[in-house]
Amino acid sequence: MLTHIGTDTIETERLILRKFKISDDEAMLKYWIADEKIQSLYSEPVYTTKAEVDELLEKYINSYQKNDYYRWAIIEKNSGECIGQIAYFLVDSKNNFAEIEYCIGSDFQCKGYATEATKAVIQYGFDKINLHKVQICTKTINKPSKRVIEKCGFTYEGTLRDYFYMDGEYVGRLYFSMLKSEFESKTKLNRNIYLHNNLPAIEFCLAGRLYYSYIEFYFTCG
């Protein structure tokens, strides 16, 4: 059973994922929502005016009243700019799964931001919402998105051939997924690898704490 909590703020090393605000309209127009190439790759319309974007943002903001609505503005910490978005745009509460979509403005691509945001939303889905499965899909021509999906550890499930008709040709749709059990296994493995690689440093720190505790005890009670 899912535990719906709505769109809470998520912070990563370089990003803040938060609810959209009306004031995000200018950055959206500047970085991605008026870009036909970006919008077409995840099957969204192009918005070219502030009025159109504000109308879309009103829908987003009003939807935040529902506890099963999950859509984040992706904010770059260094600049404070809204550089893209990520969402669980499809949430199936009966079958306990959700599907992710995302986009990053072209000025901010090839920096690992999409991977960083997607990993954070995956963790949110499994740890906070209690999803059983997270799925994601991309067009066969979208190689950068495919690399993001692979870096996040999704399992390829299959291809819907000739699913889209774009610019005079047919394009397939690739499906990937991750189960909660797989996520937990990978998280445990990564934790064990981290501990193994950093064990000498951890032991040194613990030894230092014990030494200073002994010195403090000696001068206090000795």
What is the gyration radius of the CA atoms in the chain, in angstroms?
Answer: 22
pLDDT above 90 covers a percentage of the chain that reads: 82
Are 115 and 152 in contact, with CB atoms under 8 Å apart?
yes
Q: Which helix (H) or strand (E) holds 170?
A: strand 169-179
- State the DSSP string of 44-113: -----SHHHHHHHHHHHHHHTTSTT-EEEEEEETTT--EEEEEEEEEEETTTTEEEEEEEE-GGGTTSSH
pLDDT of residue 187: 80
Mean per-residue pLDDT over the chain, rounded? 91
Q: Which helix (H) or strand (E) holds 117?
A: helix 113-124
Q: How far is CA 86 from the centre of its chain?
A: 6
pLDDT tens, position by position, 160-217:
999 999 989 999 999 999 999 999 998 876 666 656 677 566 565 555 565 555 455 4
pLDDT of residue 186: 85
DSSP, collapsed to helix, strand or coil, labels residue 13 as coil
Using pLDDT thresholds of 50, 70 and 90, give the confidence band for residue 106.
very high
Number of Cβ atoms within 10 Å of the Cβ of 71: 20
- 41 closest CA partner among 32, 50, 49: 32
pLDDT tens, position by position, 41-59:
989 999 999 999 999 999 9
pLDDT tens, position by position, 108-126:
999 999 999 999 999 999 9
pLDDT of residue 207: 58
- 182 closest CA partner among 126, 100, 101: 126
- 98 closest CA partner among 158, 180, 41, 155: 180
pLDDT tens, position by position, 1-35:
999 999 999 999 999 999 999 999 999 999 999 99
Please report the domains of the chain, with CATH numbers, ordered by start residue: 10-179 (3.40.630.30)
What's the pTM value of the predicted model, to 2 decimals? 0.85
Rounded CA separation 132/154 (Å): 14
